[in-house]
Amino acid sequence: MAASRPFASKEDMFSKSDSIWATCGRPEILEAFLAHPKIGDNKAAAAHGGKWASNEQKGMNQASTQTADAMAKGNKDYEEKMGFRYIVCATGKSAEEMLGILQSRIKNDPDTELANGAAEQNKITHLRLNKLVAEHSGASL
């Protein structure tokens, strides 16, 4: 991305990001997944993902103990079945929504889930690029 700068517009930046992401293979996708804390792991979100990850997963902050426990178990079961971490664009979702999505997606095969996770990763990338632009408004894209 950095080598592609400057961008003509925010849309150009998103288009370049999408193009780069579309060329990524399984190893690069899995590497990107590992950069995310598990949904519901607030300590890891704060330490690993900083303020953005913590804020994106804030729907888990209001989770009941039952929902939080179910998410932890679901994360473990998902990772055992798929071989990689559950990725969902958590922004704006409640704990119950994220758990429901996990429970629905765990029924899929690993290849389908790699594609689903990659699509969710791309949504997260767009949100974070927007945040980056907002934090540096006035700076050149």
Identify the pLDDT of residue 4: 86
Average pLDDT over residues 85-113: 96
Q: How far apart are CA 60 and CA 122, in angstroms?
A: 21
The residues, ordered by sequence, that sit 6+ positions from 77 with a Cβ below 8 Å of its Cβ are 106
User: What are the backbone angles phi and psi of residue 137, rounded to the nearest 5°?
Assistant: -60, 140
Identify the pLDDT of residue 130: 87
Identify the pLDDT of residue 87: 96
Task: Give the pTM.
Answer: 0.85
Residue-wise pLDDT tens digits, 116-141: 999 999 999 999 898 888 877 765 55
Identify the pLDDT of residue 118: 97
Q: Give me the torsion for CA of 43, 45, 46, 49, rounded to 10°.
A: 150
Identify the pLDDT of residue 138: 61
Element (H, E) at 50: helix 50-56
Identify the pLDDT of residue 67: 95
Residue-wise pLDDT tens digits, 42-98: 665 555 555 655 567 767 788 899 999 999 999 999 999 999 999 999 999 999 999
DSSP tag of 134 = H
Q: How far apart are CA 119 and CA 39, in angstroms?
A: 16
